[in-house]
Amino acid sequence: MTSTDAYAALMSHFREIAALGQAAMVLGWDQETTMPERGVTQRAEQLGVLEGISHQKLTDPRIGDWLAVIDRAALDPVQAKNVTEAEHRHHRATRIPARLAEETARLSAHAQGIWADARARSDFAAYAPTLSQMVALKREAGQALRDADESAYDALIQDYEPGMSERELSRIFGDLRPALADLRARIADSPVKAPPLKGPFAKEAQIALSRELATAFGYDWSAGRLDFAVHPFSSGNNGDVRITTRVTEEEPFGCLYSTIHEVGHAVYSQNLDPALMFQPAGEDAGMGVHESQSRSFENQIGRSRAFAEYLFPKMRDAFGDFGAADPEALYLQLNAVETGFIRTEADEVHYNLHVMMRFDLERALISGDLDVADLEAAWNDRFTADFGVTPPDARRGVLQDVHWAHGLFGYFPTYSLGNIYAGELVATLRQDIPDLDSQVAGGNMSHFVGWMKEKIHHPSRRYMPRDLIERAVGHAPSSAPLVAYLERKFTDLYDL
């Protein structure tokens, strides 16, 4: 077999794996939005079989044969990236013993129900044994996966943020935590308050406005659609990227801003290089970069003063007097800062404090420095230190997120990485597009999206996340631009 033949065989094999993954994605979307309730048993079996076949294909020993024959020096950069990714995925799949994969899948399948019951009753003790088992399994997985210079937690991060380490995360997060804790304390003392919303907000009008905003942000409706889901998400790639939202008559920003958030993810996925579809190098760069897009769309642009100018007349048309007298009042409503217990409801100032706390707790769980039995107390201590208040119950504390029940350890930090990358990217694109604010105020987001498309979307997975950001902004990513942006924005808004 020649090197060319081996490369072709490897790519054909990973093309099948990619197609299986896309099929599973569509089945997952269908399950959340469309599937009749009695379809759930069959769907689990269908997804289990697709997952099992993908795993068989990833561990296929022929991958090793092909890799041995391929002459790496003869590959162009995209081919080289494809081979590196294929090798990496093959190694990771083969390093996890079948017994461990099965136990984790089985535990994950029923941990979610145990977590949901425990959360409903605010009873952490009822969930702790299950979480302990999951921590043990993920620790074992991290040990099996890690390279010599990595920690077990480092190895787990790689599924979500390739090339990242807990040391590097600690460095990047280092300055962010004190800056945010200080900012939130100063805002809490400010007399400035956002005017209250005046509803109700008709659902049809919210959906129509959500569609209009999605269009303004460059969402391609010929390659997507909008549906409803309890927990909004986006799903798919290239020519088929679907978004979901939720809607309630009490307030409109949940619908509008979850739509803009998902549109950020979706426009990224729609703009991935179509020439690389079904190749590893044609995928997205990772969760941090993905979140940088949703956060840039939702926060950096969507909660800017310029965007409030654009949005205000549309809100008036849709809802009449909604409680804000002018764009400036809407701007304040969009950036109301309040100390809350729930991560998913947090504002830009508090959000990363929620995340960094989870990062520190979960790596302590994986390293063994923290026992699950002590997790609730550790959570409440840390929360009190960072937020100045103590969660009244486990439901609003340690039991609020499903992630750990799914075995997602190393995932949380990508949320804050996304905010940090967004801070870097938008700071740089503001230099490249000096009149960005007047464009946004006029509803023209095309230069913003075009910049992201060129620098972030089209490169797809050609580069590691850190390198992709560095190529876009000219230096290694740090939290400094995000901190500067938040300081500037909230000092101004809250007269600090």
The answer to the question of whether 55 is labelled as a binding residue is no
The secondary structure element, H or E, covering residue 234 is strand 234-237
Q: Which residue, 227 or 470, is less far from a second copy as judged by CB? A: 227
Minimal distance, residue 374 CB to a second copy, in Å? 42
Among positions 76, 147, 148, 222, the unique one binding a second copy when judged by CB under 8 A: 222
Q: Any catalytic annotation for residue 262?
A: yes
Q: What distance in Å separates the CA atoms of residue 293 and residue 456, rounded to the nearest whole number?
A: 9
Minimal distance, residue 31 CB to a second copy, in Å? 10
Q: In this structure, are residues 261 and 297 in contact, taking their beta carbons and an 8 Å threshold?
A: yes
Among positions 5, 45, 102, 369, the unique one binding a second copy when judged by CB under 8 A: 45
Return the residue matching tokens 């997985």.
141
Is 416 a binding residue for a second copy by CB under 8 A? The answer is no
Q: What distance in Å separates the CA atoms of residue 256 and residue 246, rounded to the nearest whole number?
A: 9
Count the neighbouring beta carbons within 10 Å of the beta carbon of residue 335.
21
Is 109 a binding residue for a second copy by CB under 8 A? The answer is no
Q: Which of the stretches 239-247, 251-259, 345-353, 474-482 binds a second copy when contact is defined by CB under 8 A?
A: 239-247
Minimal distance, residue 24 CB to a second copy, in Å? 8
Q: Which residue, 64 or 239, is less far from a second copy as judged by CB? A: 239
> Nearest CA to 92 among 139, 159, 145?
145
Q: Encoding tokens for residue 416?
A: 């804050």
Count the neighbouring beta carbons within 10 Å of the beta carbon of residue 147.
9
Is 105 a binding residue for a second copy by CB under 8 A? The answer is no
Minimal distance, residue 218 CB to a second copy, in Å? 14
Q: Write the burial class of residue 478 (CB in 10 Å: 0-12 exposed, 13-18 middle, 19+ buried).
A: middle
Among positions 8, 49, 185, 275, the unique one binding a second copy when judged by CB under 8 A: 49
Q: Which of the stretches 35-43, 193-201, 255-263, 342-350 binds a second copy when contact is defined by CB under 8 A?
A: 35-43
Q: Write the burial class of residue 68 (CB in 10 Å: 0-12 exposed, 13-18 middle, 19+ buried).
A: exposed
| Residues paired with residue 251 on neighbouring β-strands, in sequence order | 248
Q: Encoding tokens for residue 398?
A: 């340690």
Is 26 a binding residue for a second copy by CB under 8 A? The answer is yes
Is 55 a binding residue for a second copy by CB under 8 A? The answer is no
Q: Which residue, 227 or 328, is less far from a second copy as judged by CB? A: 227
Minimal distance, residue 105 CB to a second copy, in Å? 15
The answer to the question of whether 90 is labelled as a binding residue is no
Distances (CA, A) of 429 to 57, 128, 216: 41, 46, 18
Minimal distance, residue 26 CB to a second copy, in Å? 6
* Subset of 355-414 contacting a second copy (CB under 8 A): none
Among positions 43, 382, 430, 447, the unique one binding a second copy when judged by CB under 8 A: 43
Q: In this structure, are residues 144 and 97 in contact, taking their beta carbons and an 8 Å threshold?
A: yes
Q: Encoding tokens for residue 470?
A: 């560095």
Report helix, strand or coil for 321.
coil
Peptide bond into 200 cis (omega under 30): yes
Q: What distance in Å separates the CA atoms of residue 41 and residue 401, rounded to the nearest whole number?
A: 25
Is 240 a binding residue for a second copy by CB under 8 A? The answer is yes
Q: List residues binding a second copy (CB under 8 A).
A: 15-16, 19-20, 22-23, 26-27, 30, 34-43, 45-46, 48-50, 52-53, 220-225, 236-240, 242, 277-278
Residues at the annotated binding site?
A: 261, 265, 291
Residues at the annotated binding site for Zn(2+)?
A: 261, 265, 291
Catalytic residues: 262
